[in-house]
Amino acid sequence: MDYISQLIQRYPILTENEKDIRLFCEMLINCYEWGGKLLICGNGGSCADAEHIAGELMKGFLKKRPLSAEKKAKMLSLAPELENVNLDMLQQGLPVFTLNSGAALTTAFANDCDPDLIYAQQVLATGRKGDVFLGISTSGNAKNVYSAAAVAKSMGLKTAALSGRNGGKLKDVCDVSIVVKEEETFKIQELHLPVYHAICATVEEHFFEE
């Protein structure tokens, strides 16, 4: 199913973003096929969006994603205390690391070092070539998100932005930028949600049959 075409039909304002949305889907699919992960961050409402995306990718979104019989058998052989009823509830997931998680680290680094680098520090520690970084900023000018994107790019990660207005500084440092055509923060966020739902659905369909 072409979730992106459906997205554009529902939200014609996103027509200009279709190419970049498809490019990001391709980038993320290539990352997961290689065995990489998605690193993602944002502030405020964009922080909540980062967590939302992680929830859609790390468990079933539109599909149930059951474990294979072979995987369940192996898990039972290694941990007999597990029961099939439990394994039937587990779902296959795609790895996402939300940089806005981990209050102890982020508050310590913000207090001891520089709050504008709290996400960049985590990219430096956890990012690997082949991973994808996604920065969410409605203005594209959030300093901590921009710094993380710059560090990710310097490390050889693929970088992407989800923003609004004119894309800000973040647009210039990212390989792919999805910049929705709105100016007010809440209106930008209203368009971000259907965009990342279509992305998650597209990536999920590529990897999972059920």
- Structural domain contains residue 165: yes
Taking the whole predicted model, whether its pTM rises above 0.75 is answered as yes
How many structural domains does the chain have?
1
What is the mean pLDDT, run by run of 10 residues, along the chain of 210 residues?
97 98 98 98 97 98 95 93 88 96 90 96 96 98 98 98 98 98 98 98 94
Domain hosting 126: range is 3-67+93-207
pLDDT given at position 85: 80
In a domain, 87, yes or no: no
Q: Which amino acid is at 116?
A: D
| Per-residue pLDDT, 44 | 96
85 assigned to some structural domain = no
30 falls within a domain: yes
Give the tens place of pLDDT for each residue, 10-66.
999 999 999 999 999 999 999 999 999 999 999 999 999 999 999 999 999 999 999
81 domain residue, yes or no: no
CATH code where residue 133 lies: 3.40.50.10490
Determine the straight-line distance between the first and last CA of the chain, rounded to whole angstroms: 13
Mention every residue, 6+ apart, whose C-beta is less than 8 A from residue 130: 31, 34, 35, 36, 156, 157
